[in-house]
Amino acid sequence: MTSFLRYCVGLDISKDTLQACLSVIDQTGRVSVKATTKVVNKPVGFASLLTWVSRHRKLDLSLIYLMESTGVYHEAVAWYLHQQDQSVSILLPNKAKHYLKSLGYKSKNDKIDVQGLSRMGLEQQLPLWSPLSKNLYALRLLTRQHQRLQELKTQSTNQQHALEYSVFDSRFIDKQLTKLVSVYEAQIDALETAIKELIDEDPILKPRIERLIAIKGLALLSVAVLVAETNGFEGFTNQRHLVSYAGYDVVENQSGNHSGKTRISKKGNSRLRRILHMPAFNAVRFNEPTCKALYDRVYERTHIKMKAYVAVQKRLLLMAYALWRHEVKYDPEYLANRAEKDKKIVPTSGTTQDQVAEAELSYL
């Protein structure tokens, strides 16, 4: 008699609907699809999803819900399931995409995606999702609104500059632009105050964010954006995933005798790269030990300042991730002390994955 091990519900989420697939795996590793359905992406649909699952869940086995982090559309159902004491796992989209490719799927549609997710949840031991704080979502709304207003302010000041040097000027338009800039500045100040108050009132976020602010170059707003856009670094199991998510992963262009430019992919969250632009300049300017040494090393090798600053941006991101993940205070001399210790250690075997991960943090 076949013995089954556990269930998984894969969820493919769009703005309006949830495509669900319930699958089960047996002791031989064979995955069977038990049922599929589609519900609306609203609380009434979430309730009907639980009813549907209980109706088709014939055996008392463990159950997990697996979904991708699709913008903001997955958040409501993830919170609902978590509040109903259900096990939830959330994947970065590129992980599911590469898994489906490994299965040999050439077509792509909702049915294939949701079956692939349910199969992935059964065949792999995925980490469970646990929301750090509801304030992270409020923080993300505030920081994104701050960015929008900052962009509008910059646009208006650029228009003023162009008008000033134009052949034909207009006092009326200049007056309107001046008023707009003052309105944007007032709203930006109000948003920065709201961000600070939200962090101060959260006993979980406040101490963690204070550790990151200790890094020279990273201010409160920069750290708030990093934390909000990565959802408290939730779902990133290693540095490579975070680097890829931010678009700092390196893309080579080389084949045979051809050797093109090596650059970062920029296929990731552009808000992370945008907010790290000025902190990288400040970290070098204020002689943050690790970042300054990195900048000098890369600039000496490439003679390209911006490439060195991009390397510093990546370093700041990884430093913030390490401090957040391990919940330790920032030590400016940590890497220097670590390098001295490593010189005294004679390796006795091949390089391990842990050593590779450490090397990635200290390479640039």
Residue 64 lies in a domain: yes
Answer yes or no: do 112 and 165 share one domain.
no
Whether 67 is covered by a domain: the verdict is yes
The amino acid that residue 323 corresponds to is L
Q: Tell me if 19 is assigned to some domain.
A: yes
Spell out the residues 6+ positions from residue 306 whose beta carbon is closer than 8 angstroms to its own: none
- Identify the domain containing residue 333 by its residue range: 203-364
If one counts the domains in the chain, the total is 3
Whether 90 and 38 share a structural domain: yes
Whether 196 and 294 map to the same domain: the answer is no
Q: Is the pLDDT of residue 264 over 50?
A: yes
In a domain, residue 79? The reply is yes
| Residue 128 lies inside a defined structural domain of this protein | no
Residues 47, 193, single domain; the answer is no
| Residues 125 and 62: beta-carbon distance below 8 Å | no
- Cα atoms in the 13 Å half-sphere on the side-chain side of 40: 4
- The beta-strand segments (E) located in 289-362 are none
Residue at 74 is within a domain: yes
Distances (CA, A) of 123 to 28, 102, 231, 336: 11, 13, 26, 42
Can you read off the two tokens belonging to residue 349?
Answer: 């075997």
Domain boundary (187, 202, 217) is at: 202
Q: Are residues 30 and 113 in the same domain?
A: yes
- 237 in the same domain as 168: no
By C-alpha distance, which of 328, 326, 358 is closest to 341? 358
* Same domain assignment for residues 185 and 261: no
Locate 223 and state its tokens. 């750290």
Please report the pLDDT score of residue 260 as a whole number.
Answer: 64
Q: What type of residue sits at position 215?
A: I
Q: Residues 96, 21: one domain?
A: yes
- DSSP assignment string, 55-79: HH--S--EEEEEEE--TTTTHHHHH
Are 286 and 160 in the same domain? no
Same domain, 185 and 243: no
**Confidence category of residue 318, pLDDT binned at 50, 70, 90:** very high
Helix (H, G, I), strand (E, B) or coil at 295: helix
Per-residue pLDDT, 360: 39
* 187 falls within a domain: yes
Kindly state the percentage of the chain with pLDDT values over 70: 88
Residue 237 belongs to what H/E stretch? none
**Of 151, 172, 202, which one is at a domain's C-terminal end?**
202
Least confident of 157-171, 172-186, 191-205, 248-262: 248-262
Q: Name the nearest CA neighbour of 64 among 79, 82, 51, 48.
A: 82
Between 259 and 40, residue with greater pLDDT: 40
* Residue 19 bridge partners (DSSP): 12, 38
Same domain, 174 and 213: no
Of 91, 123, 155, which residue constitutes the final position of a domain?
123
- pLDDT at position 352: 40
* 228 occurs within a structural domain: yes
Q: Do 158 and 261 share a domain, yes or no?
A: no
Taking the model in full, what pTM does it have?
0.74
pLDDT at 258: 52
